[in-house]
Every structure is written in structure tokens, then in C-alpha cells.
């Protein structure tokens, strides 16, 4: 994981802090997402590994935009386990985009990242390279969270108190 430097992690957590201050992002800590991972920690993991993958593959992109889109991709603000799972899987990208637009100024690339991160389940393919990155990383993080008893976030979140 040596591709990202401490300043990259600091940038991610500056974005998290801004969202915590200006939106209901911190509320995601209350919701279990995959197995024993909160939606908050999952979103930070997707942001971290999206930036990692873009760097590893030498993909030039607006990295801050990538991080914000990744952080907000599951910004649906409810307990997904309390609703019909099939409803949640196909509807939460639209709900997340509506919440993100309401609470934060997102650009068209971030909107696409959020709205299309569930492709192919939602049948709307990603339009931008950043959206493809978040789509792939989200699936990888979800698989890891379902299969692992050791959350990988301990290394990512070490020292972060947000």
C-alpha cells in the first residue's frame, strides 16, 4: 500500500472533516453496512482505495473530486438492513445523489460516481474514469468486508478521530 503518502491520507481526512462539519456524513457511523463495517468506514475505505487504484494505474484525474465522490457514494442516511434489500440495492444510488446534492455541492463527475456505482445491477454504466474506479473499488471493499474478520480500516483510520 505504499503508493499513497501521508499527505494523501491527510487530504482524504480533510475531505472527511469538511463533510462531517457541513453535512450529515457523520451519521453514517450509526449504520452497519457490510458485516461488521459501518457505512462511514466503508465510504472512507472506498475513497482511500479509489485514490490508491488511480495512482497505481497512473490514471490522471481530479483526485479531490474522486475522493468526495467516493465518500458520498453511499450517502443514503438510513439503515439499509431495515428495508427490503432488493429495494435498497437498486434505489440507494439515487437517494445518495439526492442527499449529496442537497447537502453538498457536487459536480457532474461526482454525481455520476454516486449514481452509477452499482452498475451492472442498476443497468446504468459509469460515464467517467473516476466512476469506473469507484464502481470497481466499491465491489472490492464490499467483498473484503463480507469475508474478513479483520477490518482493513484499522490501518487506514489509525490516529484519525473524526
Q: Which pLDDT tens digits describe the chain residue by residue (162 residues)?
A: 467 888 998 999 999 999 999 999 999 998 777 667 889 989 999 999 999 999 999 999 999 999 999 999 999 988 776 765 567 667 889 999 999 999 999 999 999 999 999 998 888 899 999 999 999 999 999 888 888 766 666 566 655 556
pTM to 2 decimal places: 0.91
Domains of the chain, earliest start first: 6-157 (1.10.3210)
| Alpha carbons 126 and 133: distance in angstroms, whole number | 9
Task: Report residue 50 as a C-alpha cell.
Answer: 479509489
12: Cα within 13 Å, side-chain hemisphere = 24
| Alpha carbons 132 and 74: distance in angstroms, whole number | 15
Distant-in-sequence, close-in-space partners of 153: CB < 8 Å, separation ≥ 6? 37, 41, 44, 45
Q: What is the pLDDT of residue 1?
A: 47
Q: What is the pLDDT of residue 34?
A: 67
Q: What is the pLDDT of residue 93?
A: 92
Q: What is the pLDDT of residue 84?
A: 57
Q: Which residues pair with 69 in a beta bridge?
A: none
Mapped onto helix, strand or coil, the DSSP state of residue 34 is strand
Q: What is the pLDDT of residue 149?
A: 67
Can you list the alpha helix ranges (DSSP code H) found in 23-160? 39-56, 63-71, 85-103, 108-115, 129-147, 153-157
Amino acid at each position: 500500500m505504499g503508493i499513497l503518502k501521508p499527505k494523501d491520507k491527510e487530504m482524504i481526512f480533510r475531505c472527511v472533516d469538511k463533510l462531517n462539519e457541513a453535512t450529515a456524513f457523520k451519521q453514517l457511523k450509526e449504520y452497519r453496512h457490510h458485516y461488521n463495517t459501518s457505512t462511514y468506514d466503508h465510504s472512507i475505505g472506498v475513497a482511500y482505495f479509489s485514490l490508491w487504484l488511480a495512482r497505481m494505474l497512473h490514471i490522471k484525474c481530479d483526485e479531490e473530486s474522486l475522493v468526495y465522490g467516493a465518500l458520498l457514494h453511499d450517502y443514503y442516511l438510513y439503515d439499509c438492513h431495515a428495508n427490503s434489500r432488493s429495494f435498497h440495492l437498486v434505489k440507494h444510488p439515487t437517494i445518495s445523489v439526492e442527499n449529496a446534492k442537497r447537502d453538498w455541492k457536487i459536480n457532474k463527475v461526482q454525481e455520476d460516481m454516486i449514481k452509477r456505482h452499482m452498475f451492472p445491477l442498476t443497468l446504468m454504466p459509469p460515464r467517467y474514469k473516476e466512476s469506473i474506479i469507484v464502481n470497481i473499488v466499491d465491489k472490492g471493499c464490499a467483498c473484503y468486508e463480507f469475508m474478513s474478520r479483520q477490518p482493513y480500516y484499522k490501518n487506514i483510520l489509525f490516529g484519525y478521530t473524526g
